[in-house]
Amino acid sequence: METLGAAATPYMTLLALSVVLLVFHVLMQGVLSTRELGSQWNAGPRDEGLEPKGKMAGRAARASGNFRETYPAFVGLLLGVAFAGDDTFRLGLIGGWIWLAARIVYIPLYMGGVYYIRSLVWTVSLIGLLIMTIALFR
């Protein structure tokens, strides 16, 4: 199979950065849960079903879950745009960067308990996915 070469570089960069963001979510959730429940809980099998009850650990878990709801769509759209070809304006790539930037901004807003603006930023991330979808049909 032939690689896409240099043309795919910005798409693969964006994909790699999205994986970094995914790992950040997992680590943030893990660190805050471990801070609350202890390292023995984290290292153990968690059979007792104990979940963190603290505000920050809960927010981290919900923010991570929210991220993972749209992440598969982002990956699929990004790969689709990269393999199918993006138009001259690289609309799909622009949509991907909008999604990633909004998802990064979303984290401190969610963790800080900021109302409305957080929802607006989430909507911007969906607009990024919509732009990517439109790019597939051009």
Give residue-wise pLDDT tens across range 20-67. Answer: 999 999 999 999 999 999 998 888 888 888 888 999 999 999 999 999
4 pLDDT higher than 60: no
Alpha-carbon distances, residue 22 vs 19, 37, 38, 55, 68 (angstroms): 5, 22, 23, 21, 8
Residue 44 is part of which domain span? 5-136
Residue 103: give its domain's CATH number.
1.20.120.550
Number of independent structural domains in the chain: 1
